């Protein structure tokens, strides 16, 4: 039987499988995509903790369910930064980052019209898990292309040392399993 980690977040309990990252570290696999109850509960709990905002910015793909649900509950617009330029993007803005959950460099792209939409607005950056902060940095860089202001960064979970950060809002810590 596979090893699991019991997670308590937003008043719910979930068993997460432990996945090997490399010879020295494992992580608990936290995936919100198919867990509607968890996504709704986490969105509600984060909205209660986050500062006032006008628009949500998230990275494709794992942050999308949480950002969408926070948008639905708050009535505020959300913008997904895509993993590559899409045909509908007339003037794509591209940023590269590295994330612990993605092998190698990852690209995040917004259409210029999305950047213009963020102009003058209070921007809340949302992700499912904050670990190394690579995705947050890329999203902050994209947001900085607008005249908007990032008012906060939040996630359902903070993994490893990210749980010690004071500049992010999260609901529960998620340990790294070092061996």
Residue-wise pLDDT tens digits, 126-173: 999 998 888 899 999 999 999 999 999 999 999 989 999 999 999 999
Which residues does 102 contact at the CB level (< 8 Å), separation at least 6? none
Longest alpha-carbon distance in the chain: 52
Share of the chain above pLDDT 70, in %: 94
Distance CA 139, CA 155 (A): 13
Q: What is the pTM of this model?
A: 0.90
**pLDDT per position as a tens digit, 6-40:** 999 999 999 988 887 777 777 788 887 889 999 99
Token code pair at residue 91: 């003037």
Phi-psi label, residue 93: left if phi above 0, alpha if psi -120 to 50, beta otherwise:
beta
Return d(Cα 123, Cα 71) in angstroms, integer: 12
Relative to beta strand 169-174, strand 176-178 is unpaired
- The pLDDT, as a whole number, for residue 8 is 93
Predicted pLDDT at 100:
54
What does the alpha-carbon distance between residue 150 and residue 53 come to, in Å, rounded to a whole number?
A: 9
Collapsed DSSP state (helix, strand, coil) of residue 170: strand
Q: DSSP letters of 89-109?
A: -SSEEEEEEEETTEEEEEEEE
Give φ, ψ of 103 to 5 degrees: -70, 130
Of 47-56, 98-107, 142-151, give the lowest mean pLDDT range.
98-107
Q: CA nearest 43: which of 18, 23, 72?
A: 72
């Amino acid at each position: 039987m596979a090893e699991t980690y019991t997670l308590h977040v937003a008043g719910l309990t979930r068993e997460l499988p432990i996945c090997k990252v490399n010879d020295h570290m494992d992580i608990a696999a936290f995936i919100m995509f198919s867990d509607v109850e968890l996504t709704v509960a986490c969105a509600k709990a984060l909205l209660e903790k986050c500062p006032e905002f006008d628009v949500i910015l998230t990275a494709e793909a794992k942050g999308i369910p949480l950002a969408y649900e926070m948008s639905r509950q708050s009535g505020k617009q959300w913008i997904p930064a895509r993993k590559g330029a899409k045909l509908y993007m007339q003037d794509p803005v591209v940023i590269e980052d590295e994330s612990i959950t993605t092998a190698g460099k990852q690209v995040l792209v917004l259409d210029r019209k999305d950047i213009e939409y963020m102009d003058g607005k209070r921007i809340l950056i949302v992700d499912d898990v904050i670990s190394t902060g690579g995705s947050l940095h890329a999203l902050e860089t994209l947001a900085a292309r607008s005249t908007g202001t990032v008012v906060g960064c939040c996630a359902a979970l903070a993994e490893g040392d990210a749980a010690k950060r004071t500049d992010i809002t999260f609901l529960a810590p998620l340990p790294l399993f070092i061996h």
